[in-house]
Structure 1
Amino acid sequence: MQSTIKLIVKIIIIICLIVYLLIIAFNMKIIKSNQLIQFLFVTEKNKFNWIGITSVLAIISLTFTAWDSRRKLKADLISKSRIKWMDNLKGHIGLYCSAQQAKLVTLELIFRYLKDERNENGELNEFGVEQVNINTAKLDKIEYDVSNSIALIKLNLFRYQSTDDEIEREILNSVEAIDKKISNYQDLLTDEKYEKGYEHGMDSEMKDIDKLLHLSANYFKIEWEKAKRGE
């Protein structure tokens, strides 16, 4: 917005200067009263020198063209940089959401095996042990993806500490809130509260993840408009 205003102001100044030069072209009194103008725009025969005004207009045009080219180049660089940053952030948020969804499903499977795969003595049967071990190993890999994606999201939204952008704060708050809720769910496994974990539904967490995806989509729409304007 500010760059657009500056552009408009400069164009108005140039137009005013051109109009002024055209006025003096038809007003010999002004020319005669100003030695510099007379030197530039009056011939030896006391006639108006069109070559002078043409040269001045050409210089003004070249100056404006050079400035506008630099402005467009700067806007293009900013736009490309913002688009690349958006693509990276989309990937981090996408990884975070998919990893958290996978974590929820894996935890639910572990709790189901711990509940259903027991023998008459109440001990976990061979199949149950195998599946719990397999899914526990998966859980370790998923937790790495979750932690890594959280760190990358925070790094890419570093402006959060010094910005008034409400939607960025919402995204980070949502990321942290989802992680906390799912971590509390995982604590039931650590504390061996298998029955409670088995009964725990994951609808609430899944809805929170969907809300984060929707919030992020709105955020990227706003950022895309900025990228198109070269901001």
Structure 2
Amino acid sequence: MNYFFNNIWKVIIFIVKRTFLTDSGYFNWISVTGIIAISTLIWTVSFNSKKYRADLVSKARIDWMSQVRPLYAQYLAAVPHYIFLYSKAMVDNDENARATLDDEMDEIKRLYYELNLYIPHNKSNKIILDDIDLLWNELSYIVPYFNYGNKKGLFRSELNRYRRSNYESIVDEYISGLINKSSVDGNKYFKVEWEKIKKGK
């Protein structure tokens, strides 16, 4: 075993002498300079590679945010607009509003599905995805909500002399609250995402 280590030690000494000393026994500055140059090259390539990857990730995240943020804003505007049009169609019997309902719902569906495709389903995105789903699910109650309200005369209309009922007020406040909460949550979410971009994460 000692013989083995002695031989390895001799090989190391031989390599060091051949690398750092000339045949005359002087220190070989050229080899040291070469080693420093090679080390610097390796470090530069490694650093630039990491920087390039970080820049690519940052650019991809900026592109992602520039697509998702407008979609989210459009979605937050489209849901209450649809409810408003539905009210005009079902309470006020507005034919123009009734004619646009299908197109408006198609737009909401497009926005909903695009947001779900663009935003990965993971823990860090949960709050914004929950808001998107909650607004989407509220639209499924719109038909029974208006049917009941119309049947009981609970909406402002000519029939009840345009008096606003608690039923209408509570639901309007609830939907407005959802939109405001979603807006605040979205603002916080995109701020966090922007901080990640600035840090190159």
TM-score, scaled relative to structure 1: 0.70
State whether structure 2 residue 14 is matched by structure 1 residue 52.
Answer: no
Q: Indicate if the aligned counterparts of 1:41 and 1:49 stay in contact, CA closer than 8 A.
A: yes
Instruction: Call closer, same or farther: CA 1:204–1:192 in 2, change over 3 Å.
Output: closer
Find the aligned partners of 1:192 and 1:214 in 2 and give their Cα distance. Answer: 32
**CA-to-aligned-CA distance 1:151-196 (integer Å, 9 cap, x gap):** 1111112x31xx332xx2222222222222243234344x374223
Find the aligned partners of 1:223 and 1:205 in 2 and give their Cα distance. Answer: 27
Q: Indicate if the aligned counterparts of 1:188 and 1:197 stay in contact, CA closer than 8 A.
A: no
Superposition deviation, residue 225 in structure 1: 1.8
The one-letter code sitting in structure 1 at the alignment partner of 2:100 is: K
Give the structure 1 partner of residue 115 of structure 2: 153
Give the structure 2 partner of residue 124 of structure 1: none
Identity of aligned residues (%): 23
Superposition deviation, residue 46 in structure 1: 0.6
Give the structure 1 partner of residue 9 of structure 2: none
**CA-to-aligned-CA distance 1:78-124 (integer Å, 9 cap, x gap):** 1111111111111221111110121122233335524xxxxxxxxxx
Find the aligned partners of 1:74 and 1:197 in 2 and give their Cα distance. Answer: 58
Q: The residue matched to 1:64 in structure 2 has which SS?
A: helix
Give the structure 2 partner of residue 106 of structure 1: 85
State whether structure 2 residue 112 is matched by structure 1 residue 142.
Answer: no
Superposition deviation, residue 197 in structure 1: 4.6
Q: Indicate if the aligned counterparts of 1:111 and 1:197 stay in contact, CA closer than 8 A.
A: no
Give the structure 2 partner of residue 4 of structure 1: none
Superposition deviation, residue 203 in structure 1: 2.1
Counterpart of 2:193 (choices 223, 226, 229) is 223
Q: Indicate if the aligned counterparts of 2:72 and 2:115 stay in contact, CA closer than 8 A.
A: yes
**CA-to-aligned-CA distance 1:14-67 (integer Å, 9 cap, x gap):** xxxxxxxxxxxxxxxxxxx71111101101221111111111000000111011
Q: The residue matched to 2:24 in structure 1 has which SS?
A: coil
Gaps of 5+ in 2: 1-11, 157-164
Superposition deviation, residue 77 in structure 1: 0.8
- Describe how 1:14-25 pairs up with structure 2 within 5 A: none
Find the aligned partners of 2:45 and 2:176 in 1 and give their Cα distance. Answer: 54
Q: The residue matched to 1:113 in structure 2 has which SS?
A: coil
The one-letter code sitting in structure 2 at the alignment partner of 1:213 is: S
Give the structure 2 partner of residue 208 of structure 1: 178
Find the aligned partners of 1:45 and 1:181 in 2 and give their Cα distance. Answer: 88
Find the aligned partners of 1:69 and 1:184 in 2 and give their Cα distance. Answer: 55
Give the structure 2 partner of residue 93 of structure 1: 72
The one-letter code sitting in structure 2 at the alignment partner of 1:177 is: L
Q: Indicate if the aligned counterparts of 2:112 and 2:136 stay in contact, CA closer than 8 A.
A: no
Gaps of 5+ in 1: 1-32, 115-131
Find the aligned partners of 1:196 and 1:180 in 2 and give their Cα distance. Answer: 23
- Describe how 1:67-216 pairs up with structure 2 within 5 A: 67-114=46-93, 132-157=94-119, 159-160=120-121, 163-165=122-124, 168-189=125-146, 191=147, 193-194=149-150, 195-198=153-156, 199=165, 200-201=168-169, 202-216=172-186
Find the aligned partners of 1:186 and 1:99 in 2 and give their Cα distance. Answer: 17
Find the aligned partners of 1:74 and 1:98 in 2 and give their Cα distance. Answer: 36
Find the aligned partners of 1:64 and 1:214 in 2 and give their Cα distance. Answer: 44
Find the aligned partners of 2:107 and 2:143 in 1 and give their Cα distance. Answer: 16
